[in-house]
Amino acid sequence: MSDLPADVSEQPQTEAHVSIWHHVCSAILIGLFAGAGAMRLNDCDLFNPDSPRYLIYAQGMLNQGEYRAIDVPGQPIYSWRPPGLPLLLTPALMFRPYDVVAAKVMVLLTGALLLLAVHALAVLHGGKWSGPLAVALTGSSPVMLVLSTEILSEVPYALAVLALLYWLGRVAERPEIPNSLRFTAIFVTLLWLPAIRTVGVSLIIAVGLWSLVSRWRVPYLLTAALAGGSIYWRAQHGRASGGDNYAASLFDGLRERGLGAVMTEVWQTMQFYSAALPGLLFPGLTKERPFYALLTLDTLPSVDGLSRWLAVASVALVLVGLCGVWAQRHRTGSLVLLYLPLYLGCLAVWPWRHERFLWPLIPLLWVFVPAGVTSVMQAFRPGTQRFLMPLLALAAVGLCHRQVLSDTSLIATNQRAVADRDAFHAREAPSFYFGDWRRAGTWLREQTPPHARLLTWHAAVGGTAHRFQRRVSF
């Protein structure tokens, strides 16, 4: 009789054989994604003031050694957004100060690594062609392309989540064999998660709960506790410095509006994300205008009449993914089942709504869909399986093709803008996204004294001008 916990001794210890060609296919897809991302690089910022301030405060960390709001008079300690992404950008800014493209290269690198993590985790749970399939569905998405080529934290956060799940999945295979390197990687990633996005606390709590049910997981309970302590220390440090943070904002809102109003907002928020899910899973097919539509002047027309079918398909995909999670509960599925409601709960109480906040769950879903399909197919006869599998493969190819069309439109518009911005503005009527904020800031730096104060709507202007600023809307 084994002395290992029941959940370990009963779990499968073997996985499907994966040939070198499966890895090669994923490597080619990741290379194509990196090339597409390189062609979409520019010095513009999609989300203001988030992206410019990530860049400005990263430069401040290099110049002053502290996380400070260097574009505000007095340069106070900055505690609103966590410092993980600015810290990630600092290697590029050491050589290219205030360079938006250099910062985007760092984010694009995390996008390529995210696809590598998608492949590794899908192969771990599904085997064979699940890796290339998950990489193709994730990497061809225009949402993935946009978020990987903007200074935003969603892609680095998703990378940290999937990397942590992969390492814990490997540990779950042979928990009796200690691996100090893997343990260190898990510990560092847990510390890094809330530094990238505050919502990372959801995975820390999930790991803590997951660690309580088995003796071999107890060391990871300690790592989760230390990661939680780092969040508390950062919040207290910011408060002592006079700064604010997300948690304080949430509690202040609860006191001001009352529990009833907050619960109403929670319900409305969950409705918003339910409506946004089809657009993330099937970009370019829903009737709603995607958030990245202003990045292209030749947006693909939405396919009318498919909204209800896409909503049904989204629910079906989620259910299939959950089947895959349940089938892999002896590896990391049980942890994912704890993480999902905690993450969604954080989104529900978040005062701000945007579909990109939900997106980090999409790569995770595609990772488990192949395992879910395998599990569901076991309920059908072999003849039915031989009929259904080609149809599912054809649907996956069709979705990838549609997503690539959106990618092509994004890249083509960006290439026209980068080649000659003046001619681009003269010939076409681009959105504010393509405004030359860097040129505006450079002109202001040359034409104004160092003590000048800027009143500007776009934070990038103050950053490139190297002047203190106040964000206003005219």
pLDDT-derived band at 474, boundaries 50, 70, 90: low
Structure tokens given for 174: 């042979």
Q: Is 179 exposed, middle or buried (0-12, 13-18, 19+ CB in 10 A)?
A: middle
Q: How far is CA 452 from CA 440, 443, 463, in A?
A: 15, 13, 13
Taking residue 460's Cβ as centre, other Cβ atoms within 10 Å add up to 26
Is the peptide bond prior to 49 cis by the omega test (within 30 degrees of 0)? yes
- The answer, yes or no, to whether residue 360 has pLDDT greater than 90, is yes
Tell me the one-letter amino acid at 460: A
CB–CB of 332/172 below 8 Å? yes
pLDDT for position 5: 42
Angle between helices 218-240 and 246-257 (to 10 degrees): 70
Highest mean pLDDT among 192-201, 255-264, 303-312, 434-443: 192-201
Considering only the C-alpha atoms of the chain, give the largest distance between any 2 of them, rounded to a whole number of Å. 80
Res 238 pLDDT > 70: no
Burial (CB count <10 Å: 0-12, 13-18, 19+), residue 311: middle
pLDDT in tens, 120-153: 999 998 777 899 999 999 999 999 999 999 999 9
Per-residue model confidence (pLDDT) at position 9: 36
At 85-123, the pLDDT tens digits run 999 999 999 999 888 899 999 999 999 999 999 999 999
**DSSP character for 176?**
T
CA distances (Å), 110 to each of 71, 160, 245, 422, in order?
Answer: 27, 9, 26, 32
| Cβ(167)–Cβ(193) below 8 Å | no
**Is residue 16 pLDDT above 70, yes or no?**
no
Q: How does the average pLDDT of the chain come out, rounded?
A: 84
Query: For position 295, what pLDDT does the model report?
Result: 85
Looking at residues 3-23, what average pLDDT do you find?
55
Q: Are the beta carbons of 433 and 295 closer than 8 angstroms?
A: yes
Q: Are 280 and 358 in contact (CB under 8 A)?
A: yes
| Residue 258, C-beta contacts closer than 8 angstroms, at least 6 positions apart | none
How far is 300 from 278, CA to CA, in rounded Å? 16
pLDDT at 160: 96
pLDDT band per the 50, 70, 90 thresholds, residue 473: low
Confidence band for 298, pLDDT divided at 50, 70 and 90:
low
Name residue, tokens 């260190």. Answer: 184
Question: Mean pLDDT: which of 166-170, 219-223, 377-381, 469-473 is highest?
Answer: 166-170
CA distance 267 to 152: 26
CA angle centred on 115, ends 302 and 110, rounded to 5°: 100
What the block records as the tokens of 117 is 């993590």
In this structure, which amino acid lies at residue 20? I
Dump pLDDT digits (tens) for 27-76. 999 999 999 999 999 988 888 878 888 888 888 888 877 777 777 777 77
Percent of the residues in the chain that have a pLDDT greater than 90, as a whole number: 41
Q: Where are the domains of the chain?
A: 18-43+99-435
CB 69 within 8 Å of CB 238 = no
pLDDT tens-digit series, residues 393-417: 899 999 999 999 999 999 999 999 8
**Cα–Cα distances in angstroms (integers) from residue 168 to residues 247, 293, 335, in the given order:** 28, 38, 9
